[in-house]
Amino acid sequence: MTPLLELCGVSRRYTLRKGWFARPAELLAAREVSLDVRRGEVLAIVGESGSGKTTLGRLILGLTEPSSGEIRLDGRPLASVDRRSRSRRIQPVFQDPYSSLNPRQTVGQIIAMPLQVHRIGAARERHRMVREIMDRVSLSPALVHSYPSQLSGGQRQRVAIARALVGKPEILVCDEPTSALDVSVQGQILNLLKDLQQSMHLTYVFITHDLAVVEYLADRVAVMYLGRIVELGTTRAVMTAPRHPYTQALLGSVLTPEPGLGLPDLHLGRGFPDPLNPPPGCPFHPRCPHATDVCREHAPAVTPTAAGFVTCHVQPAQTPTECDVSERRLVC
């Protein structure tokens, strides 16, 4: 079966100028990324800040064009799909719900904008569709004439979700959709997204750094480091038996409420490397406690696994972790 969305060796380069007399530097934000997104699944993309997650999301949305490689939608090159058709099928939900909403428009006008852009329905039909999607995301009809400044953070994010879904897209690209919200609201939004994904048969590309969100929501996980996918697998496989040392470090960095344990020691050595001057060989070797001479000299090949793939020369012993990805809801 053809995947709904495919990335085939996709890279994105940026040229940075540091000054009038300095030579331009090249930043490779995404490096030969290859993965597929299956219809109806939730694919989470995780990694620390600067790993390339948001760049990947912008490439999928068409906000940035790839420097090389190809993105396919239903087997068709995404570059050959006109912008209007692309935006009809793929919609974003951004991190900050306040900055992504027009402060001069009412809630009703914001949600109805995609319908106007795509010329869907007459005025009466659009009004009905706006009311329906507001009810679906648990927004009171009384808010239809309110402005974003009059709403709470959770209500703004619900408006952003309603705007993304009113045109009935197939794919939702969610870039840290709960990180700007209060903890008490995050669970409500995640439960809403999960319910909508199941009831509307949506496909999610979910960008996050929160592994608890990944465990709760995702079917598969792609782990990014310095612009590369270093491990891909089902949520259960990645969470319970990570194959890449970077994935193991991410899981080991999760704080525990148990008193007396303190901060976890990840044994990663120095900080995140300079993306303008990436290390040779395996990009993770300067921080990897298992690195060998081979890691310092040669980039690892993609090694298939039962659940996906991993790019690592060493693949240290798997570190089992407690993980239960059965059906459950976040308690708010």
Residue 271 inside a domain? The answer is yes
Residues paired with residue 90 on neighbouring β-strands, in sequence order: 171
Which segments of 36-106 does DSSP mark as H helices, in order? 53-61, 83-89
Q: Is 92 helix (H, G, I), strand (E, B) or coil?
A: strand
pLDDT of residue 263: 52
Nearest Cα neighbor of 235 from 154, 329, 323, 295 is: 323
What distance in Å separates the CA atoms of residue 289 and residue 211, rounded to the nearest whole number? Answer: 22
Tell me the CA distances in angstroms from 234 to 33, 221, 238, one per residue in order: 18, 6, 6
pLDDT of residue 254: 66
Residue 323 inside a domain? The answer is no
Question: What is the chain's Cα-based Rg?
Answer: 21
Nearest Cα neighbor of 204 from 225, 220, 186 is: 220
What distance in Å separates the CA atoms of residue 265 and residue 80, rounded to the nearest whole number? Answer: 48
pLDDT of residue 79: 87
What does each of the 332 residues of the chain score in pLDDT, given as a tens digit? 789 999 999 999 998 887 777 788 888 999 999 999 999 999 999 998 888 999 999 999 999 999 999 999 999 999 888 888 999 999 999 988 888 899 999 999 999 999 999 999 899 999 999 999 999 999 999 999 999 999 999 999 999 999 999 999 999 999 999 887 888 888 899 999 999 999 999 999 999 988 888 999 999 999 999 999 999 999 999 999 999 999 988 887 765 556 665 555 556 665 677 888 888 999 998 888 888 999 999 999 999 998 899 999 987 655 444 434 334 344 33
Residue 330 inside a domain? The answer is no
pLDDT of residue 252: 78
Residue 315 inside a domain? The answer is no
Exposure string of 26-58, with b = 16+ CB inside 10 Å and e = fewer, is eebbbbbbebbbeeebbbbbbbeebbbbbbbbb
Nearest Cα neighbor of 235 from 210, 216, 257, 262 is: 216
What distance in Å separates the CA atoms of residue 242 and residue 203, rounded to the nearest whole number? Answer: 24
pLDDT of residue 327: 40
Helices vs. strands in the chain: H and E counts, helices first:
10, 12
**Structure-token pair, residue 290:** 């298992």
Which segments of 90-170 does DSSP mark as H helices, in order? 107-117, 123-136, 153-165
pLDDT of residue 22: 78
Amino acid at 27: L
CATH number at residue 147: 3.40.50.300
Burial of 327 (0-12, 13-18, 19+ CB in 10 A): exposed
Count up the domains in the chain and report the number. Answer: 1
Residue 291 inside a domain? The answer is yes
Instruction: Collect all residues with Cβ–Cβ distance below 8 Å to 283 and sequence separation of at least 6.
Output: 225, 226, 228, 273, 299
153-165 vs 183-199: helix crossing angle, rounded to 10: 20
Check residue 150 and report its DSSP letter. G
Q: Is 275 helix (H, G, I), strand (E, B) or coil?
A: coil
Residue 318 inside a domain? The answer is no
Residue 48 inside a domain? The answer is yes
The whole domain housing 148 covers 5-310
